[in-house]
Structure 1
Amino acid sequence: MRRQLLSLTASSLVLSLPVAAQELRPSALDREVEYSPYLQEDYPNQVFFGDTHLHTSFSADAGLVGATTTPDDAFRFAKGEEVISSNGIPARLQRPLDFLVVTDHAENLGLPAALAANDPVLVDTDWGAQLAAIAAPGTEEAMIAAYEFWMEATFAGMDPLAGTPFGQTMWEKATEAAERHNIPGAFTAFIGFEWTSQPNGSNMHRNLIYRDGKDLADRKVPISSYDSDDPEVLWDWMEDYETTTGGRMLAIPHGGNLSNGLMFDDITLSGEALTEAYAQRRMRYEPLYEITQMKGDGETHPMLSADDEFADYGTWDKGSFGPDPKTPDMLPREYARSAWLRGLDYEAALGVNPFKFGVVGSTDAHTGLSTAAEDNFFGKVALVEPTGDPIRYEEPITGRFTPDDPADDLRHADALASGLAAVWARENTREALWDAMERKEVYATTGTRLRVRVFGGWDFTEEDMDRSDFTARGYDAGVPMGGNLSAPPDGATPRFLIRALRDPDGANLDRIQMIKGWTTPDGPQERVHDVAWSGDRTPDANGKLPPVGDTVDAATASYTNTIGEPFLEAYWEDPEFDPDQRAFYYVRVIEIPTPRWTTYDSVFFGIPLPDTIDVSQQERAYTSPIWYTPN
């Protein structure tokens, strides 16, 4: 009986359909309307995480010292596949990355791969034949000798393979790998390389990222430090590439903390004063800076930001890669916050700010494995991949050229498992991600995948935090991270909407901070404001917030999310705004304490933790600033 009733009901519905259709008003069908509200939506609605700085065996300083991973391996690993490391250890990411730039060094790019394959393009040259003979025994000593033989050429500044097809041949192999792994909409494999300028050992490196594919990238062999160590010559080369191919590229400097004051200097490398033209070209070709990576954090320094309790994070302020000692006067020209402050004065003097850059994080790993998680850190180079051998902690990074002065030594135990680049875009393609980088709608993390949104404007209200169309409101009435504010209405102050959501597989959040820098007649000023925090903590009389606590258990390398919050948000107005003073604002999000990679290693391998290394750390994110410029 039940089946019959269902059948009758179905028949009734079918019979009623023509009647219902006749009752529809023709005007409702004929109107030219678009029902979906998202058809015209074009603002960024997704955040993509990736690495803009990774080396494989195609880099001489990786492949000649043990790395066997290829660009193909690097892309497969970033896409979530299991890869065997150079030392035979199976490796895999907890979650795939959304994009990757393999940035092998331009200086004889592909040399180790060509050597391993006995490629005629290398071994049929006189210098290549000598290198092959040195490396032929295949022992560790032979490879060290081969590396030193190559280093002699780099120190001499003369390309030993100039005038041969080697550069073009190996570059095309690198671009082929990126093309094979690029899946528009699912995974972006950028074409890129690193220009490794290092005058007298001072780090001036830049990573070049192409918006384009192989068809354009192959038309010009990458510039290297053999050609020049001057960034202005690099910009000339980039301009020529864009003019001759119609393509686009940008450069991301990194490692300013090892530049001995050169990265954000007050003069050019050739000794000239900064000019308007210089500032325009620098920001045209270098809109971003890599603020955090394995070789230290580059936000600020405790000597530069004495009132900032979180300033001393991953501080690498000892030496460089050359013989010159680090001196305190170099520090203001090495860190991002100080550069942003000085840039405000340059803008007033030149009309253009040469240091108006956004920020990303990346790894600078030379293992072909982009690992920025504390419990899955494969180290700087193949030599220090996971092992209980003391070399994992003790391998020297800086101080090699001053062996009689241990004061400037930094070792692998000091390395950070950092970082990642986070990009706000609508789709996961080369074009969309590159365009977001160019407009600076990006932020850096020290390896965590926490999500951060920031909007600044004049008309926001606290009620905007609760809107269902929060993001649309942010773009309609303000600017995102990397944007610019000007022309304030009379009596208005900058207002900010901020949201932060923890990494779903990571730690809770301690606090959100707004960091402001501004100009005054007495010089540049900076201030850190706690604008949202977890728990029921209350700032003291000096405005300082008590610590969030620490649940880290060193014996088990574990922590709990019983403190902190998974989500924090803030509406903040600048209480000290002066419309006549240039300013910038950026957000720093701090997680609760979690075990450091050295603590995980200590437990896993059963080895003692070095006395000089902290058991825990507080990972963080830095957003690109929002700048204010007076009318």
Structure 2
Amino acid sequence: MKLPAITLSAIGIAATGFADQIPTKDGVDATVKQKFSPYAGRDFPTQVFWGDTHLHTAVSVDAGTMCRIGQEDAYRFARGEEITTTHGLKAKLSRPLDFLVISDHAEMYGLMPQLLGGDQEILSTETGKRWHKALTSGDDKVVFDTAMEIVASLSGDEVPIKSDRAVKNAWQDYTALADKYNDPGRFTALIGYEWTAIGGNNLHRNVIFRGDASVANQVVPFSQFDSKNPEDLWKHLEGFEKQSGAEVMTIPHNGNLSNGRMFTVETFDGKPLTKEIAERRAHFEKIVEVTQIKGDSEAHPMLSPNDEFADYETWDKSNLNGTEVKKPEMLQWEYTREALKTGLKLEKKLGINPYKFGMIGSSDAHTAMAAVEEENFFGKHSGVEPEPKRWEHMVIEAPDPTYSIKGWQQAAGGYAAVWVRENTREAIFDAMKRKETYATTGPRMIVRFFGGWEFTQEDGASRLPADAGYLKGVPMGGDLPARGESKAPNFLVAAMKDPYSGNLDRIQIVKGWIDGDGKTHEKVYDVVWSGDRKPDEKGKLPAVGNTVDVKKATWENSIGAPELVSFWQDPEFDAEQSAFYYARVIEIPTPRWTAYEAKRFNVEMSKEVPMTTQERAYTSPIWYTPKK
């Protein structure tokens, strides 16, 4: 069929006027030269993706004593689907996550589903038969006592029920499931597990693979029954990388529960740290989990007495199982800010910094649900799902009740944020490897942080700070480039609120450095804040205020700011001193999960229970190293 001719006059445009609007070749060339579109030609990460690198399901021995949700439902939940919890509640995230690592414990991997399912090999052992009978007895006390016995058995030196077949089958079922749910561009299922050095002084690591099932299936999870020494874990993974040509990383967590062992200057056996071990650790441990349900590990008020925000969701009574009391001298080896400072010392001594790590948050939930929003928090394990008295329940029951942890002390956190070009396994792993990551305690605020020597005030006022950030400097996780003519490094920092959460109070830059005598120091700078507040004569910024209505579990965003952007230059820079800088973003006060719980169940909690929180984000640092 012949289409009718359409003339310019037929559509109401004067031919001469239209012709004048057609760009000439010269005009097009001029526009191209001016780079009209600010987004054309970009070659840097432009998207931040959200995930959890630390989630346990019924496949984990400890979680599986109470949790009945498996790995497939864990993926479905993370992708934004609605599931039913162990206790029969309907659950769904406010927004899907972009990636997930199901990190079930390596120790007796997959035992619980097989035990409860009556696997004949498991039941052929005396221990397996007894545990199965107790867990299926229907007697709540017997079930609980047996669950505690199973968890306690992980502290021994021998495997209570050994089945290489069961572990291999469970691992390969999981890696196949991860490949099934991995959907490049939409949802990433990174393969991983947790190596759990049980014994109270927590040295746990999540092990994350870059590749697919064909890569991960070349090994089975390395467990504490292989070795309780993290140095042996790194050696094992070093051998795996050499043999397979693949990449893997380890992520330490809960330094606050290690009782002085996580970030020390010694080996596992108490000998002076060697360069070889420091190099191996630096190779595998690019990032650290700094905040999660079992407390926040960024800073401690005793270590940082001048930091008014240091005492956040602090767990510092004892070690992980409450068997060893916390002593003040242990704290310096547990918190990430102090570890970053220790790393500067070790670099001077060994020539390598084993604590040159970035930061992420994750949940460590043992419910199979990566649910850490304050109004949607499902707890540490399935024994503390939402119900009227869960705030009083024991999360950790220590031999001495003084050191037990009650339900209300759980922190609803956190999540990992990564800056990437695309949502794939390779892109997310590589972002973690280069430390272009940050941690949040739950909210999904967008944070940029760049360091360099040539930024200007105009760059700090830009609506596109990343353009100048990547062009003139390095992003979070990087090393400052060679110093030019500038007298001091300068930084661009920007944050935008989570639309589901509170406005922003302020952005701070935390600096740590080492002086000529080998002593380390730190200082927290308020660099940009909301409102017209002014620091007092001592430099302290007044509090932003508090609009929380605890009884109604709500707040007003009538204070704070939806976004903050700033240029900042170090006013006390010494070119001879190694240093690091990271940004901390603080929200205005909002209701804590306990306030939502009190309202929903109409319960009155004791006065010691906090009802408000100031959520936050921690970026990976940027380092400065003097020329040698």
Contact 1:583 1:629 survives alignment (8 Å)? yes
Counterpart residue identity of residue 46, structure 1:
Q
Match of 2:60 in 1: 59
Quick one: structure 1 residues 14 and 543, their matched pair in 2 at CA, closer, same or farther if it must change by over 3 Å? closer
Counterpart residue identity of residue 171, structure 1:
W
CA distance in 1, matches of 2:251, 2:189: 17
> Which range moves more in the overlay, 540-549 or 470-479?
470-479
Contact 1:208 1:250 survives alignment (8 Å)? yes
Match of 1:332 in 2: 332
CA offsets 1:226-260 (integer angstroms, 9 cap, x no match): 11111110001111221222221111100111000
Counterpart check, 1:180 vs 2:175: no
Contact 1:344 1:582 survives alignment (8 Å)? yes
CA distance in 1, matches of 2:59, 2:11: 70
Match of 2:564 in 1: 568
Counterpart check, 1:553 vs 2:549: yes
> Which range moves more in the overlay, 266-275 or 295-304?
266-275
Counterpart residue identity of residue 42, structure 1:
D
Match of 1:509 in 2: 504
Write out aligned runs for 1:137-152 (5 A): 137-151=137-151
CA offsets 1:35-55 (integer angstroms, 9 cap, x no match): 988675331100011111111
> Which range moves more in the overlay, 110-119 or 522-531?
110-119
Match of 1:492 in 2: 487
Counterpart check, 1:363 vs 2:363: yes
Match of 2:535 among 539, 548, 551: 539
CA offsets 1:19-66 (integer angstroms, 9 cap, x no match): 99x99769989xx999988675331100011111111111111111x2
Counterpart check, 1:594 vs 2:590: yes
1:270 positional shift: 1.3
1:159 positional shift: 1.9
Write out aligned runs for 1:289-368 (5 A): 289-320=288-319, 321-368=321-368
SS across alignment from 2:408: helix
Quick one: structure 1 residues 183 and 349, their matched pair in 2 at CA, closer, same or farther if it must change by over 3 Å? same
Counterpart residue identity of residue 273, structure 1:
P
Write out aligned runs for 1:414-493 (5 A): 414-467=409-462, 469-493=464-488
SS across alignment from 1:244: helix
Contact 1:512 1:589 survives alignment (8 Å)? yes
SS across alignment from 1:394: coil
5+ residue gaps, structure 1? none
SS across alignment from 2:53: strand
Counterpart residue identity of residue 122, structure 1:
I
Contact 1:318 1:398 survives alignment (8 Å)? no
CA distance in 1, matches of 2:40, 2:447: 25
Counterpart residue identity of residue 230, structure 1:
N
1:141 positional shift: 3.4
CA offsets 1:400-458 (integer angstroms, 9 cap, x no match): 2334xx1x232121110010101000111110001000100000000010111011000
1:592 positional shift: 0.3
1:521 positional shift: 3.3
> Which range moves more in the overlay, 287-296 or 140-149?
140-149
Counterpart residue identity of residue 143, structure 2:
M
Write out aligned runs for 1:87-126 (5 A): 87-125=87-125
Contact 1:202 1:322 survives alignment (8 Å)? no
Write out aligned runs for 1:15-30 (5 A): none
CA distance in 2, matches of 1:305, 1:248: 36
Quick one: structure 1 residues 14 and 122, their matched pair in 2 at CA, closer, same or farther if it must change by over 3 Å? farther
Quick one: structure 1 residues 120 and 242, their matched pair in 2 at CA, closer, same or farther if it must change by over 3 Å? farther
CA distance in 1, matches of 2:259, 2:528: 36
Quick one: structure 1 residues 367 and 28, their matched pair in 2 at CA, closer, same or farther if it must change by over 3 Å? closer
Counterpart residue identity of residue 324, structure 1:
E
Match of 1:227 in 2: 226
1:154 positional shift: 2.2
Contact 2:298 2:337 survives alignment (8 Å)? yes
Match of 2:619 in 1: 623
CA distance in 1, matches of 2:238, 2:5: 77
SS across alignment from 2:164: coil
SS across alignment from 1:201: coil
Quick one: structure 1 residues 163 and 378, their matched pair in 2 at CA, closer, same or farther if it must change by over 3 Å? closer
Write out aligned runs for 1:518-529 (5 A): 518-521=513-516, 523-529=519-525
SS across alignment from 2:63: helix
The alignment's TM-score, normalised by the length of structure 2, stands at 0.93
Match of 2:217 in 1: 218
CA distance in 1, matches of 2:409, 2:461: 42
Quick one: structure 1 residues 39 and 323, their matched pair in 2 at CA, closer, same or farther if it must change by over 3 Å? same
Counterpart check, 1:401 vs 2:399: yes
CA offsets 1:112-152 (integer angstroms, 9 cap, x no match): 11123223453355543443233342433343344345346
CA distance in 2, matches of 1:607, 1:35: 59
1:289 positional shift: 0.6
SS across alignment from 2:460: helix
SS across alignment from 1:167: helix
5+ residue gaps, structure 2? none
Contact 1:554 1:595 survives alignment (8 Å)? yes
Contact 1:486 1:630 survives alignment (8 Å)? no
Match of 2:79 in 1: 79
Match of 1:250 in 2: 249
1:472 positional shift: 2.4
1:157 positional shift: 1.6
Quick one: structure 1 residues 140 and 26, their matched pair in 2 at CA, closer, same or farther if it must change by over 3 Å? same
Match of 1:581 in 2: 577
Contact 1:78 1:93 survives alignment (8 Å)? yes
Counterpart residue identity of residue 513, structure 2:
W
Contact 1:57 1:67 survives alignment (8 Å)? yes
CA distance in 2, matches of 1:91, 1:370: 11
> Which range moves more in the overlay, 36-45 or 93-102?
36-45
SS across alignment from 1:484: coil
Contact 2:473 2:481 survives alignment (8 Å)? no
SS across alignment from 1:224: coil
SS across alignment from 2:383: helix
Quick one: structure 1 residues 152 and 624, their matched pair in 2 at CA, closer, same or farther if it must change by over 3 Å? closer
Quick one: structure 1 residues 469 and 384, their matched pair in 2 at CA, closer, same or farther if it must change by over 3 Å? closer
1:266 positional shift: 1.7
CA distance in 2, matches of 1:25, 1:316: 67
CA distance in 2, matches of 1:595, 1:24: 60
CA distance in 1, matches of 2:372, 2:163: 39
CA offsets 1:63-118 (integer angstroms, 9 cap, x no match): 11x21111111110011100100000000111111111111111111111112322
Quick one: structure 1 residues 192 and 138, their matched pair in 2 at CA, closer, same or farther if it must change by over 3 Å? farther
The alignment's TM-score, normalised by the length of structure 1, stands at 0.93
1:466 positional shift: 3.6
Write out aligned runs for 1:371-382 (5 A): 371-382=371-382
Contact 2:135 2:143 survives alignment (8 Å)? yes
CA distance in 1, matches of 2:425, 2:324: 40
CA distance in 2, matches of 1:414, 1:192: 28
Kindly tell me the number of residue pairs found equivalent between the two proteins.
619
Match of 1:45 in 2: 46
CA distance in 2, matches of 1:190, 1:491: 42
Counterpart residue identity of residue 541, structure 1:
E
Contact 1:599 1:609 survives alignment (8 Å)? no
